[in-house]
């Protein structure tokens, strides 16, 4: 935990960690046109930096994707690989449902 030197209060980082622990994230797959499978990751708060998380997931999984209506859409079936990456990003393991 980072503490400010001036006032002795926690820095903004602690609030991001608290925000991550309150979310219930769901990982699922959906079949789209022509039998293509996409992975959907939903359940993020509106105040959370979802685009940064999507970018990190796309880099780690080497796939394309987008963010639509507060849901991360990844190209391909990555249901089993997403949970360990989210845990490394600081999300509690028990808050991720796959």
Contact status, residue 97 vs residue 82, Cβ threshold 8 Å = no
Query: What pLDDT sits at residue 48?
Result: 79
First CA to last CA distance, the chain: 29
What is the tens place of the pLDDT at every residue in 47-94?
778 899 999 999 999 999 999 999 999 999 999 999 999 999 888 888
Query: What pLDDT sits at residue 31?
Result: 94
Q: Above 90 in pLDDT, residue 1?
A: no
Q: What is the pTM of this model?
A: 0.77
Q: What is the DSSP string of the chain?
A: --B-TTT--B-HHHHHHHHHHT--EEEEEEE-GGG-EEEEEE---TTS-HHHHHHHHHHHHT--EEEETTEEEEES--HHHHHHHHHHTT--GGGEE-
Query: What pLDDT sits at residue 20?
Result: 58
What is the tens place of the pLDDT at every residue in 14-50?
555 555 566 789 999 999 889 999 999 999 887 778 8
Query: What pLDDT sits at residue 41?
Result: 95
Structure-model confidence comparison of residues 97 and 8, the more confident one: 97
d(CA 31, CA 33): 7
CATH of 12-92, one of 2.40.110.20, 3.30.780.10, 3.40.1170.10, 3.50.50.60: 3.30.780.10
């Amino acid at each position: 935990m980072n503490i400010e030197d001036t006032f002795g209060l926690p820095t903004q980082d602690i609030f991001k960690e608290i925000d991550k622990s309150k979310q219930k994230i769901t990982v699922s797959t959906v079949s789209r046109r022509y039998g293509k499978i996409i992975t959907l990751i939903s359940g993020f708060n509106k105040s959370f930096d979802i685009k940064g998380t999507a970018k990190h997931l796309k880099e780690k999984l080497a796939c394309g994707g987008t963010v639509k209506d507060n849901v991360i859409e990844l190209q391909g079936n990555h249901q089993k690989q997403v949970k360990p990456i989210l845990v490394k990003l600081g999300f509690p393991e028990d808050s991720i449902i796959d």
